Amino acid sequence: MIDLAKNILDVAKALLGMSDQLRAAVRQRRADMANLFESISSCLATVSSEIRVGNVPHGKCGELITYSEALPGLIDKELGESKAKELGETLRSAYNVECMAMELSEVAEKEPHLKEIEEASGKFRALANILRVG
């Protein structure tokens, strides 16, 4: 279950690696992608902050599921349906951050997992900014 952070980071890295393809989208699609990536980033930052202080990030599972469902439709024209669906499914597989928080509360060293969540948050934010500049 703790591998969820790695899955989220993998999606962020993959999308950032394909930023040139995403930047080829028309302005409105780029803006929509940027807004989604910014929302994912904010969600992940909250997850990390809540876990760090010993709380469970209630409501963030549902938020991540919603983002994972929206993702393929926003990137499919630029990355292809298959890749878009794969990235959406990978993000969806990592939605259960509440359970991850409960598991991490029992682990002595949770910092490496929080680092992955925070790195993913930063990559999603960077991608949003890249798309906004066009």
Residues 21-42: pLDDT tens digits? 999 999 999 999 999 999 999 9
> Which residue carries 């926003």 as its tokens?
74
Contact of 121 with 58, CB cutoff 8 Å: no
Contact 26, 40 (CB under 8 A): no
Q: What is the pLDDT of residue 47?
A: 96
SS3 53: coil
Please spell the DSSP secondary structure of 89-128, one letter per residue: HHHHHT--HHHHHHHHTT-S--HHHHHHHHHHHHHHHHHH
Q: Would you state the pLDDT for residue 1?
A: 52
Residue with tokens 């509440």, as numbered in its chain: 98
Q: Quickly state the pLDDT bin for 114 (edges 50, 70, 90).
A: very high
What pLDDT score was predicted for residue 109? Answer: 87
Distance CA 27, CA 43 (A): 24
